[in-house]
């Protein structure tokens, strides 16, 4: 009976330690707003390599790295100065971060959603939904 308890403890203690480490890693990953803001800053700095590295493998299968700067320049993202994040929803390994953008020319309340998927222990961008192709008077 004593040997069974020792064996059980020998198995449960390492499992508990591993579970604790996994929980710490999951809680230490940056939040969605932080990732989205870092993505926007990377685009503002024209650091397209960094921004592209924040996208998911599924996104990268569809959009090649050499096409990414053109895609961004043709989207409303290139005209955004700031985004005020309003809501986020997480469902399993997917998440949606919703906000209202402010353009570089001052237009407010531009709806935008960043779509994320979890890859291993981090969130990666796999899509962006917002106003497309709308031009402002300059």
| 3-state SS record for the chain | CHHHHHHHHHHHHHHHHHHHHHHHHHHHCCCHHHHHHHHHHHHHCCCHHHHHHCECHHHHHHCCCCCHHHHHHCCHHHHEEEEEEEEEEEECCEEEEEEEEEECCCCCCEEEEEEEEEECCEEEEEEEEECCCCCCCC
Model pLDDT for residues 60-105, shown as the tens digit of each residue? 999 999 999 999 888 878 778 888 999 999 988 999 999 998 888 8
Model pLDDT for residues 12-26, shown as the tens digit of each residue? 677 777 766 666 555
pTM over 0.75: no
């Amino acid at each position: 009976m004593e040997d069974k308890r020792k064996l059980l403890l020998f198995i449960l203690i390492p499992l508990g330690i591993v579970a604790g480490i996994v929980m710490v890693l999951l809680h230490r990953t940056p939040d969605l707003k932080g990732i989205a803001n870092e993505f926007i800053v990377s685009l503002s700095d024209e650091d397209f390599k960094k921004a592209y590295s924040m996208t998911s493998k599924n996104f990268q299968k569809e959009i090649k790295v050499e096409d990414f700067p053109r895609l961004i320049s043709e989207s409303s993202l290139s005209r955004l100065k700031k985004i005020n994040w309003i809501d986020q929803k997480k469902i399993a390994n997917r998440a949606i971060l919703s906000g209202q953008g402010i353009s570089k020319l001052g237009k407010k309340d531009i709806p935008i959603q960043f779509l994320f998927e979890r890859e291993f222990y981090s969130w990666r961008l796999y899509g962006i939904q917002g106003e497309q192709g709308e031009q402002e008077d300059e």
